[in-house]
Chain A
Amino acid sequence: SYILTQPPSVSVAPGETARITCGGPNIGSKSVHWNQQKPGQAPVLVIYYDSDRPSGIPERFSGSNSGNTATLTITRVEAGDEADYFCQLWDSNSDDYVFGSGTKLTVL
C-alpha cells in the first residue's frame, strides 16, 4: 500500500515559519489533506486539496504539493500551533485512505 513519510518532529521559534513535509511516490498527482491534532483532542482539518483552507483556519496556514513531496507551511508560528500534524490522501490503487505517521510541531 501507499506509504506517506513525515518527519517525526519539527521545532521553530515563535514568529518563525514551520514547514512540515509529507513524502510519497508521485504524491503531486494526488490530493493531499492536512489535519492538526492537539493533545487529547480530535483532529481538525487545516488544509484540503493540497492548498485550500477551511473557513476559520488562519491564513498563516498554507499547503503545496508537487513531485514527491507535499508541504504544510505555517508562517508567524504561535504557541497555539503546537500540535501533531498528519497528512492524508486516498490511494486509488488500494482503495485505501492513508495517513502519514504525523509530525509533532514544537514551538520553542
Chain B
Amino acid sequence: EVQLVESGGGLVQPGGSLRLSCAASGFTLSRYWMHWVRQVPGKGLVWVSRINTDGRSTNYADSVKGRFTFSRDNDKNTLYLQMNSLRAEDTAIYYCARDPGGGNWNSPFDYWGQGTLVTVSS
C-alpha cells in the first residue's frame, strides 16, 4: 500500500525556519518525481515545488522561490522541504504528493499524504 506521511509542521515566528519531512512507503521512491502542495484550511490547493527522481532538478512556485528548498534521500525513502524566511502567508497544510508521470509535466498527483500544518505567527 502506497503511503506518504508528512511531519515537521508546527508554529513558527515570521522570519523563522522549519523543515518538513515526507516518509514514503509501499513503492520505490527513487522512481518517482514528487511534489509539495499546500492548502490554507478551508481554501484551495496551491502547488509549491517538484523534484525529479535523483533530486538534481527542482522547481518552485514564484511565491516560495529563493526561500524553500526541496530535497530527497531515496535511500531513506524520505523527502524534505526546508522552509526559510517564513511569512504569515505561508501558513497552510503542506501535502507531499506522488507524480507517476516519469517527467511528463502533464501527469496527475496520484497519491497524497495526510498533510502537516504550518502556522507562521508571532
Contact = CB atoms under 8 A, between A and B. Distances in A.
Interface of A: 30-31, 33, 35, 41-45, 48-49, 54, 86, 88-90, 92, 95-102
A98 to B, nearest CB: 8
Interface in B86-122: 95, 97, 105-115
B39 to A, nearest CB: 9
A44 B35 CA distance: 15
Given A31-B106, A86-B44, A95 B59 contact: yes
Interface of B: 35, 37, 44-47, 50, 59, 61, 95, 97, 105-115
Given A86-B44, A86-B45, A97 B35 contact: yes
Contact of B112 (A30, A42, A49): A42
Contacts, number: 56
A94 to B, nearest CB: 9
B105 A45 contact: no
B35 A43 contact: no
Given A41-B114, A42-B115, A95-B59, A88 B108 contact: yes
25 contacts: A30-B106, A33-B109, A35-B109, A35-B112, A41-B114, A42-B114, A43-B45, A43-B112, A45-B108, A45-B109, A48-B107, A48-B108, A48-B110, A49-B108, A54-B110, A86-B44, A90-B106, A95-B59, A95-B105, A96-B61, A97-B35, A99-B44, A99-B45, A100-B44, A102-B44
A48 B108 CA distance: 6
A99 B47 contact: yes
Contacts of B50: 97
A92 B109 contact: no
A42 B110 contact: no
A97 B105 CA distance: 9
